[in-house]
Amino acid sequence: MLIVKPQNFLLPAPLPLDCGRELRQVNLRYETVGTLAPDGSNAVLITHALSGDAHVCGRHTPEDPKPGWWDEMVGPGRAIDTDKYFVVCSNVLGSCAGSTGPRSVNPDTGNPYNLDFPVITIRDMVRAQHELMKHLGIRKFLSVVGGSMGGMQAMEWAINYPDQVDSVIPIATTSQLSPQSIAFDWVGREAIKNDPNWNDGNYSADHVPEGGLATARMLAHITYLSDESMSRKFGRELQDADSYSFDFRRDFAVESYLEHQGRRFVERFDANSYFYITRAMDYFDLAARAGGDLARAFAGTRAAFLVVSFSSDWLFPTAESRKIVRALLRNRLNVSFCEIQSAYGHDAFLLEADVLGPMLRDFLANRLEAQHA
């Protein structure tokens, strides 16, 4: 059994942010698996999605009931083989799973930041990861791999640190958040704001806006599935009874499932972090920084790309990945693109390990071989 230990890295200097402010005493929670090769060629950074954390694979203790969030893909003998690669995964800035975020204590006041925490961007998250990279003595990542918001970070790596990434694998992602996604984020945050415990983010640990956060999660969770996957998984099945209750308690299996997802999310996630991370995604727009021309955004990029989308993903649909591919090809970069047929919707990037795995394995193997050629 693979046992991994969470570690902490306190940034040696204040972190400058896109909003113009800077953050002092930033901590990054991270985990590493595998061994960095003497020539440093085998480091792979995995970037996580909205609600993810640094615990990508293995278990923290032998009794740990659940492995890391991408254990099917990452580990000894897996597609991203930790016997072969030195895998790094860190919790993003602004999150609530060990890295500095809005619930962290502001060193200037001694109190939690809450909404005094500066609004951060995806590029800020990557800037913090770059500090971790230096700390770990890695000169170049063989690859930066991430799905959804992780894919956004991966692309930021290719743009901002072109000499320090050999390849990038953005999965089920987009170069800019669509108005539809911004709208979903807004409604989710509104649900939290309307929770009686919200108190403008200054809620106490025993009175968190859990109803609002659960509603936000349920809404978002629908966008991670597809009509087909919901039909297959739940149909119109009733949860407990054989007939309708004729009241408004949950009758349907799908209602029960969403309720369960909402409840589980509240146990592990913080409402303020939800605000900051969804905002970071709202602001994500690679083309906007290059005068609206996505191809120009990748002008200095040198990495090889493997772009992957999923046929039933309607949150970040294939057309968004095609836009990225087109922009990369305009820069004559080494690009591969595959739309994987799947019914799982956006969540497919976590579930389609059987199809996605071999592609990642082969792509990484070829990149590593090219390093040594």
Catalytic residue among 55, 143, 166, 346: 346
Cβ closer to another protein: 70 or 363? 363
The minimum distance between CB 367 and another protein, in angstroms, equals 9
Please identify, using beta-carbon distances, which residue of 23 and 308 lies nearer to another protein.
Answer: 308
Nearer to another protein, 7 or 334 (CB): 334
Q: Which amino acid is at 313?
A: D
The one among 16, 107, 235, 358 contacting another protein by CB under 8 A: 358
Q: For residue 129, how many other CB atoms are within 10 A of its CB?
A: 24
Residues 204-243 that bind another protein (CB under 8 A): none
Please identify which of the residues 143, 148, 226, 342 carries the catalytic annotation. 148
Subset of residues 330 to 349 that bind another protein, contact rule: CB under 8 A: 330, 332, 334-341
Q: Which of 177, 119, 183 is nearest to 151 (CA)?
A: 177
Nearer to another protein, 132 or 356 (CB): 356
Per the annotation, the verdict on 130 as an active-site residue is: no
Is 251 among the residues known to form the active site?
no
Q: Which of 116, 163, 237, 362 binds another protein (CB under 8 A)?
A: 362
Nearer to another protein, 21 or 326 (CB): 326
Residue closer to another protein by CB (options 253, 295) is: 295
Instruction: Please state the closest distance from residue 338 (CB atom) to another protein, in A.
Output: 5
- Write each residue from 259 to 298 as x if it is in contact with another protein (CB under 8 A), else as -, in one continuous string: ----------------------------------------
- Minimum CB separation of residue 224 from another protein in Å reads 22
Residue 363 C-beta: closest distance to another protein, Å: 5
CB of 310 to another protein, least distance (A): 11
Return the DSSP state at 64. Answer: -
Tokens 């002008």 belong to which residue?
299
CB of 177 to another protein, least distance (A): 23
Smallest gap, in angstroms, from Cβ of residue 231 to another protein? 23
- Determine whether 224 is exposed, middle or buried from the number of CB atoms within 10 Å of its CB (0-12, 13-18, 19+): buried
- Please identify, using beta-carbon distances, which residue of 198 and 298 lies nearer to another protein: 298
Residue closer to another protein by CB (options 271, 348) is 348
Q: How many angstroms separate the Cα of 229 from the Cα of each of 172, 222, 223?
A: 17, 11, 12
Total residues at the site for another protein (CB under 8 A)? 25
Tell me the two tokens of residue 303: 């990495």
Binding residue (CB under 8 A) for another protein from 132, 133, 325, 353:
325
Q: Does 355 bind another protein (CB under 8 A)?
A: yes
Which parts of 294-323 interact with another protein (CB under 8 A)? Answer: 304, 306, 322
135 is catalytic: no
Shortest separation between residue 27's beta carbon and another protein, angstroms: 37
Residues 142-161 that bind another protein (CB under 8 A): none
Residue 217 belongs to what H/E stretch?
Answer: helix 210-224
Pairing of strands 15-16, 22-23: antiparallel
Q: Which residues in this chain contact another protein in the complex, by CB under 8 A?
A: 304, 306, 322, 325-326, 329-330, 332, 334-341, 355, 358-359, 362-363, 365-366, 369-370
The residues annotated as belonging to the active site are 148, 313, 346
